[in-house]
Amino acid sequence: MIYLTNAFSIQMLANLLRNDQDTVVRFRTLTPEEFRARLSSNFVNAIGHQGTVEFLNKMFGLNLTVERRQITVNHGDEVLVVMPFGARLPPGAELTAEKLAELYGQGLVKFIEVSIP
pLDDT at residue 23, rounded to an integer: 83
- Predicted structure pTM score: 0.91
Range of the domain at 7: 2-115
pLDDT digits (tens, 9 = 90+) for 78-107: 999 999 987 777 888 889 999 999 999 999
pLDDT digits (tens, 9 = 90+) for 19-70: 666 788 999 999 999 999 999 889 999 999 999 999 999 999 999 999 999 9
Number of structural domains found in the chain: 1
* Number of helices (H), then strands (E), in the chain: 4, 5
The residues pairing with 4 across neighbouring beta strands, listed in sequence order, are: 45, 80
CA atoms within 13 A on the CB side of 77: 18
- CATH number for the domain harbouring residue 52: 3.40.50.11170
pLDDT at residue 20, rounded to an integer: 67
